[in-house]
C-alpha cells in the first residue's frame, strides 16, 4: 500500500509538470508551420504564397505581393482535441478524486498511443514586394502515454527567423526566391520510463534525476529556396516548388552549458500547383494541391494535400481542404485593426494514414492580429 501511494504521488507530480508545460507550450507540423490560412487549405500553399506565409512556405511568393504588409502583435494558440480531454482528467486527479494507483494506470491505459498537443505562438513579420523578414516563435509540447507506463515527450521553444528576397523574370512569369534563416530549439525530446519518472522525486535516488539533464538547446543557420511559374494570366495557373533546409540545417552551438545539441533539420522538397478559375470584383475561388516531403522516406499517404479558398470582398476568406486525406477548414476575417484567423486540421502520427484512430490528432488553432 505504501509503495502504491508513493508511485501515485510520483505519477501525479509528473503529470502536473506536463500540464504546466501544456499551459505555456507548440510543436511544429511535419515540415512547416505558422500559417493558419494554409492549414485551413489542407496545407496546400507552395504555389499560392500570396501573403506573408511566403516566408515559411516559398520565398518566391514575395514577388506576387502588391504592397507592403506587417504585423507586430498576432498571438495564437493551438490545441488538440485529445489534450482538452486529457487536461480534464488530470484536473480530476489533481483535485484528489483518484485515490489509488489503479486510477492513474487506468488513465495511462485510456491515453495509450494518443498524441496530445498544445501551443502558444506568435509570428510578427514585415513583407513588401521582393523582400521580407519575420519571426516564428513557438512554445509548445507533444506528449504520448504508453500502456507500459512510459511517456514520449517533446516540448520547448522553437524559433525561426527568416530573411528572404525574391525576383521576377521572363515578363514576370517566373519568380525565384531565397531565404537565410536563424533557427533555434531549447527544450526536451525524450522518452520517460516509470523508473525515470520515479527518480525525479525519490529521495534515495543516486544520482537524483532532474529535467536539466534532458535539456537540448542549439542555434544554427539554414537556407531555403523556391520558385513559381505562371505561364498565362488567364486563371493564373501556377507551378510552385520549395526546398527547405538545403543540405540540412545543423544546430552548431548550444544555448546553455551542459545541454545536448538537437537533431539536425533535414532537407525538404515540396511541389504544388494552384489555379484561380473564378475571379470577380466581389470575390474569387482558389484551388491548390501540394505534394510535400518528396525526398523523405515518408509514406505517400502523408504527402498529398489539397485545398480551396473562397474570398468574399476584402474582409472574409473561407478555406477547406484535405491534409493527408483528413478534412481541414478555416476562416479569416479582416476587420481593420483586428484580424481573426481560425483553422482546424489533423496530424496522423502513424507510418501510414488511417492505421489507428488513436494516432489521429485533430487540432484547433486561433490567431488574432491586434493593432498592427
Boundaries of every domain in the chain: 2-370
C-alpha cell at 113: 498511443
Q: How far apart are CA 143 and CA 264, in angstroms?
A: 21
Q: What are phi and psi of 357, to 5 degrees?
A: -65, -30
Q: Which residues pair with 177 in a beta bridge?
A: 166, 226
104 close to 10: Cβ distance less than 8 angstroms? no
Query: Does CATH place domain 2-370 in 2.40.160?
Result: yes
Q: Which residues pair with 339 in a beta bridge?
A: 334, 369
The DSSP letter of residue 171 is T
Each residue's pLDDT, cut to its tens digit, for the chain (372 residues) gives: 444 455 444 444 444 434 333 333 223 334 455 689 999 999 999 999 999 999 999 999 999 999 999 999 999 999 998 888 777 777 766 665 545 556 666 666 666 667 788 999 999 999 999 999 999 999 988 877 665 556 777 788 889 999 999 999 999 999 999 999 999 988 887 777 656 655 555 555 555 556 667 788 999 999 999 999 999 999 999 999 999 999 999 998 776 777 888 888 989 999 999 999 999 999 999 999 999 999 988 899 999 999 999 999 889 999 999 999 999 999 999 987 889 999 999 988 788 998 878 778 899 999 998 866
Three-state SS at 2: helix
> Got the DSSP string for 78-143?
EEEHHHHHHHHHHHHHHTT---SHHHHHHHHHHHBT-EEEEEEEE--EEEETTEEEE-EEEEEEEE
Q: Does the bond joining 113 to the residue before it have cis omega, within 30 degrees of 0?
A: no
Contacts of 202 (CB under 8 A, 6+ apart): 10, 208
Cα distances (angstroms) measured from residue 370 to each of 38, 56, 122, 253, 319: 20, 21, 12, 35, 22
78 close to 117: Cβ distance less than 8 angstroms? yes
343 close to 318: Cβ distance less than 8 angstroms? no
Q: How far apart are the first and last CA of the chain?
A: 59
330 close to 324: Cβ distance less than 8 angstroms? no
Residue 223's H or E segment, with its range, is strand 215-229
Pseudo-torsion of CA 64, 68, 74, 76, nearest 10°?
0
Query: pTM for the complete prediction?
Result: 0.82
Amino acid at each position: 500500500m505504501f509503495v502504491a501511494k508513493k508511485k501515485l504521488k510520483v505519477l501525479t507530480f509528473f503529470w502536473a509538470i506536463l500540464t504546466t508545460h501544456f499551459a505555456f507550450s507548440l510543436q511544429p507540423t511535419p515540415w512547416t508551420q505558422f500559417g493558419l490560412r494554409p492549414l485551413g487549405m489542407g496545407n496546400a500553399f507552395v504555389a499560392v504564397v500570396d501573403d506573408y506565409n511566403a516566408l515559411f512556405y516559398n520565398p518566391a511568393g514575395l514577388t506576387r505581393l502588391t504592397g507592403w504588409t506587417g504585423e507586430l502583435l498576432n498571438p495564437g494558440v493551438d490545441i488538440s482535441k485529445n489534450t482538452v480531454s486529457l487536461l480534464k482528467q488530470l484536473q480530476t486527479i489533481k483535485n484528489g478524486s483518484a485515490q489509488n494507483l489503479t486510477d492513474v494506470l487506468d488513465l495511462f491505459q485510456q491515453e495509450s498511443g494518443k498524441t496530445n498537443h498544445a501551443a502558444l505562438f506568435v509570428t510578427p513579420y514585415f513583407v513588401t514586394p521582393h523582400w521580407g523578414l519575420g519571426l516564428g516563435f513557438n512554445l509548445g509540447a507533444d506528449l504520448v502515454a504508453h500502456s507500459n507506463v512510459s511517456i514520449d515527450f517533446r516540448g520547448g521553444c522553437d524559433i525561426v527567423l527568416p530573411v528572404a528576397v525574391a525576383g521576377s523574370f521572363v515578363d514576370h512569369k517566373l519568380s525565384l526566391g531565397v531565404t537565410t534563416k536563424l533557427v533555434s530549439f531549447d527544450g526536451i525530446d525524450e522518452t520517460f520510463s516509470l523508473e525515470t519518472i520515479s527518480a525525479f522525486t525519490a529521495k534515495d535516488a543516486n544520482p537524483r534525476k532532474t529535467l536539466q539533464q534532458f535539456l537540448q538547446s542549439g542555434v544554427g543557420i539554414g537556407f531555403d529556396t523556391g520558385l513559381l511559374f505562371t505561364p498565362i494570366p488567364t486563371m493564373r495557373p501556377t507551378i510552385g516548388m520549395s526546398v527547405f533546409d538545403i543540405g540540412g540545417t545543423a544546430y552548431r552551438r548550444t544555448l546553455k552549458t551542459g545541454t545536448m545539441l538537437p537533431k539536425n533539420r533535414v532537407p525538404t522538397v515540396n511541389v504544388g500547383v494552384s489555379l484561380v478559375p473564378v475571379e470577380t470584383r466581389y470575390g474569387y475561388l482558389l484551388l491548390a494541391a501540394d505534394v510535400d516531403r518528396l525526398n523523405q522516406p515518408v509514406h505517400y499517404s502523408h504527402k498529398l494535400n489539397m485545398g480551396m479558398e473562397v474570398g468574399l470582398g476584402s474582409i472574409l476568406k473561407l478555406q477547406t481542404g484535405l491534409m493527408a486525406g483528413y478534412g481541414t477548414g478555416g476562416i479569416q476575417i479582416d476587420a481593420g485593426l483586428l484580424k481573426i484567423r481560425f483553422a482546424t486540421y489533423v496530424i496522423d502520427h502513424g507510418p501510414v494514414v488511417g492505421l489507428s484512430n488513436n494516432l489521429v490528432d485533430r487540432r484547433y488553432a486561433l490567431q488574432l492580429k491586434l493593432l498592427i
